[in-house]
């Protein structure tokens, strides 16, 4: 039996005077409209904004006053956000449930930085892995790495799930303009065999390299797909076991299991227990990204991560982009009763960014107990969703503008396009700016009737406005910019978790389903004489078996 770690009691958030003062203050702010806030404060659009690292962060269209911001900052200080931030960067074991450090920031620390875990500097090991990844990526990209029949690799398939899939898959979409021509990355994560089939049906096994991403090499979905990939590949090479080493690499720490699979240990790239899956895209989990954009492109992305890390670590909270983003998110969720957050990138290359942030935010802060195990009495994580504009404008924006639920929005856009196809970028940017303006200010019935709209129709066209949004305007998408954006949201999530007093770095909620699935697998095959689930699950198992003829 493991010994319980010494965890200091956490002061319940709703007993803090700063929290109670915000509850009272919120009653006043709910009666204010953004039209009035901008009318009464002409400098609001300039002063409620931060510019750093080629990012312009405009939160002036959030339903906050300057008093609100001061009160939120006081709450952050009372909850020890800065002290907890410093403890993370120092390598303290702030993941108390697993007694681990939380050091994704070490993955992008420059050589010479000293970050210790249990007295050992981890940065040299990080760079050893990066150097090994770089050498491997260069061999694949140059064609020096040959498959079993002597052909060069044309397609890299990452097999993982969760953080071992979402980050690299998002990065592939985001960084396609920097990817090497003639080299494609694909991603298999779902245990649904359709995922594997569709991603391999048009491929030549002789030109395909699989990266199996599983720290323990036991992840159910990942290893099911890995063994399917192994059989698919072996079939093409007449069952020659030697071919496996030419078409498989591993991101893992399970040396014996990797070797047993047939992968050359020289092509196994490790990471550490102080890297959570959803924070791992800049570790060896990003091997497919490095192969796609090259070692220099990957290191540029790491540099962007590190720049935002330093901004978060050193900038006072009142000018700190991730911290303010977290405080505004907390305000919307706790005090204005907003249950969701729409992340709306106006850049098609960020097609999977919202899906990536779903895991980052909801797996991190979707918790119902504090660090000390006491049940929370307040809302924690919002539901994160979204898709790129302008497509979303013709799908769900209707609800955002006129629905009964208030949906805060993060708009993400860039000043410069990656391609020159006429006036597309101006048209795109006009749309994102128009949407944030329309959400904030809306259109009154009086204005609509003044345009000659009949009185009976006017109510249908009213947009109340006062819908909060933040606009993040970057200069241009690049590997470095992607790193900055991901780190921005990582540290936003950290800030919110620190105030809520939850552990943002464990994910026990996903475990029960895994345990039950392992129990049900043999039952679906008809091997269990007696089913001992609930009535619904038992009936579903029997129906499945009947339709499968078992």
pLDDT in tens, 409-443: 999 999 999 998 999 999 999 999 999 999 999 99
What is the mean predicted confidence (pLDDT) over 512-537? 89
* pLDDT exceeds 60 at position 526: yes
Distance CA 363, CA 276 (A): 11
Task: Tell which residue, 215, 187, 229, 219, has the closest CA to residue 351.
Answer: 187
Instruction: Please identify every residue annotated as catalytic.
Output: 363, 394, 514
Task: Tell which residue, 212, 213, 218, 217, has the closest CA to residue 244.
Answer: 212
Distance CA 491, CA 309 (A): 8
How confident is the model over 335-363, as pLDDT tens digits? Answer: 999 999 999 999 999 999 999 999 999 99
pLDDT for position 489: 98
Q: Dihedral of CA 231/232/237/238: which sign?
A: positive
What is the mean predicted confidence (pLDDT) over 469-496? 98
How confident is the model over 224-278, as pLDDT tens digits? Answer: 999 999 999 999 999 999 999 999 999 999 999 999 999 999 999 999 999 999 9
Lowest mean pLDDT among 1-5, 214-218, 534-538: 1-5
- Residue 382 CB burial class (10 angstroms; 0-12, 13-18, ≥19): buried
Strands 268-269 and 248-251 come out as parallel
pLDDT for position 4: 62
Q: Which residue is associated with the tokens 């957050």?
A: 341
* pLDDT exceeds 60 at position 1: no
CB distance 156 to 186 below 8 Å: yes
What is the mean predicted confidence (pLDDT) over 169-189? 98
**pLDDT band with cut points at 50, 70 and 90 for residue 546:** very high
Residue 222's alpha-carbon distances to 171, 218, 227, in angstroms, are: 19, 8, 9
* pLDDT exceeds 50 at position 311: yes
Tell me, what DSSP letter sits at residue 501?
T
**pLDDT band with cut points at 50, 70 and 90 for residue 126:** very high
What is the mean predicted confidence (pLDDT) over 292-310? 98
What is the mean predicted confidence (pLDDT) over 532-542? 95
What is the mean predicted confidence (pLDDT) over 463-472? 98
Decide if 13-92+315-415+424-450+480-500 and 120-292 have a common fold. yes
What is the mean predicted confidence (pLDDT) over 458-463? 96
CB distance 465 to 439 below 8 Å: yes
* pLDDT exceeds 50 at position 206: yes
3-state SS, 87-154, equals: HHHHCCCCECCCCECCCHHHHHCCCCCCCEECCEECHHHHHHHHHHHHHHHHHHHHCCCECCCCCECC
Q: Which helix (H) or strand (E) holds 344?
A: strand 340-345
pLDDT exceeding 70 applies to what percent of the chain?
A: 99
Q: Dihedral of CA 472/475/476/479: which sign?
A: negative
Q: Which residue is associated with the tokens 């890995």?
A: 226
pLDDT for position 469: 98
CATH of domain 120-292: 3.40.50.10490
Distance CA 240, CA 257 (A): 19
Strands 469-474 and 409-414 come out as parallel
pLDDT for position 275: 94
Distance CA 481, CA 519 (A): 44
* pLDDT exceeds 70 at position 491: yes
**pLDDT band with cut points at 50, 70 and 90 for residue 510:** confident
Please report, for the chain, the start and end positions of each structural domain, with discontinuous segments joined by +. Answer: 13-92+315-415+424-450+480-500, 120-292, 511-547
Mean residue pLDDT across the chain: 96
How confident is the model over 7-19, as pLDDT tens digits? Answer: 888 899 999 999 9
pLDDT for position 173: 98
CB distance 431 to 389 below 8 Å: yes
- Report the predicted TM-score, pTM, of the whole model to 2 decimal places: 0.96
Instruction: Enumerate the β-bridge partners of residue 208.
Output: 155
CATH of domain 13-92+315-415+424-450+480-500: 3.40.50.10490
Instruction: Enumerate the β-bridge partners of residue 355.
Output: none
């Amino acid at each position: 039996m493991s010994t319980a770690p010494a965890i200091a009691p956490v002061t319940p958030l709703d007993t803090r005077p700063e929290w109670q003062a915000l509850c009272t203050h919120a009653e006043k702010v709910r009666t204010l409209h953004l039209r009035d806030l901008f009318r009464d404060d002409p400098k609001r659009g300039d002063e409620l904004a931060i510019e750093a690292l080629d990012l312009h962060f405009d939160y002036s269209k959030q339903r906050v006053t300057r008093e609100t911001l001061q009160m939120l900052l006081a709450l952050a200080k009372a909850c020890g956000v800065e002290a907890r931030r410093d403890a993370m960067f120092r390598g303290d074991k702030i993941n108390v449930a697993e007694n681990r450090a939380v050091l994704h920031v070490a993955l992008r620390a420059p050589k010479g930085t000293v970050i210790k875990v249990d007295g050992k500097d981890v940065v040299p090991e990080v760079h050893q892995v990066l150097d090994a990844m770089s050498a491997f990526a260069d061999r694949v990209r140059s064609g020096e790495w040959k498959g079993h029949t002597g052909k060069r690799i044309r397609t890299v398939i990452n097999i993982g799930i969760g953080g071992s899939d979402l980050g690299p898959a998002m990065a592939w979409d985001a960084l396609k303009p920097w990817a090497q021509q003639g080299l494609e990355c694909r991603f298999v994560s779902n245990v649904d065999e359709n995922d594997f089939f569709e991603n391999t049906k048009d491929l030549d096994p002789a030109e395909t390299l699989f990266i199996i991403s599983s720290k323990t090499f036991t992840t159910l979905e990942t290893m099911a797909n890995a063994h399917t990939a192994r059989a698919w590949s072996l079939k093409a090479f007449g069952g020659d076991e030697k071919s496996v080493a030419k078409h498989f690499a591993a991101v893992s720490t399970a040396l014996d299991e990797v070797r047993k699979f047939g992968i050359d240990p020289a092509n196994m790239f490790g990471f550490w227990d102080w890297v959570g899956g959803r924070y791992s895209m800049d570790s060896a989990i990003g091997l497919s990204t490095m192969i796609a954009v090259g070692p220099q492109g990957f290191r540029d992305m790491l540099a962007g991560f590190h720049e935002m890390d330093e901004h978060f670590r050193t900038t006072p909270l009142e000018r700190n982009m991730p911290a303010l983003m977290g405080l505004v998110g907390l305000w919307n969720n706790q005090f204005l009763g907003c249950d969701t957050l729409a992340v709306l990138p106006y850049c098609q290359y960020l097609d999977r960014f919202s899906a990536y942030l779903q895991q980052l935010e909801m797996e991190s802060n979707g918790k119902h107990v504090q660090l000390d195990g006491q049940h929370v009495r307040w809302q924690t994580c919002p539901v994160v969703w979204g898709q790129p504009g302008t497509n979303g404008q013709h799908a769900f924006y209707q609800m955002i503008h006129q629905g009964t639920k208030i949906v805060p929005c993060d708009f993400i856009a860039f000043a410069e396009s990656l391609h020159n196809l006429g006036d597309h970028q101006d048209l795109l940017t006009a749309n994102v700016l128009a949407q944030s303006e329309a959400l904030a200010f809306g259109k009154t019935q009086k204005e609509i009737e003044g345009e000659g709209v009949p009185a009976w129709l006017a109510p249908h066209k009213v947009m109340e406005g006062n819908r909060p949004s933040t606009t993040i305007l970057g200069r241009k998408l690049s590997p470095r910019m992607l790193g900055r954006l991901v780190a921005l949201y990582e540290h936003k999530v950290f800030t919110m978790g620190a105030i809520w007093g939850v552990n943002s770095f464990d994910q026990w909620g996903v475990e029960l389903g895994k345990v039950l699935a392992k129990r049900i697998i043999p039952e679906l095959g008809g091997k269990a004489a007696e089913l001992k689930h609930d009535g619904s699950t038992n009936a579903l198992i029997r129906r499945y078996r009947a339709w499968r003829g078992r």
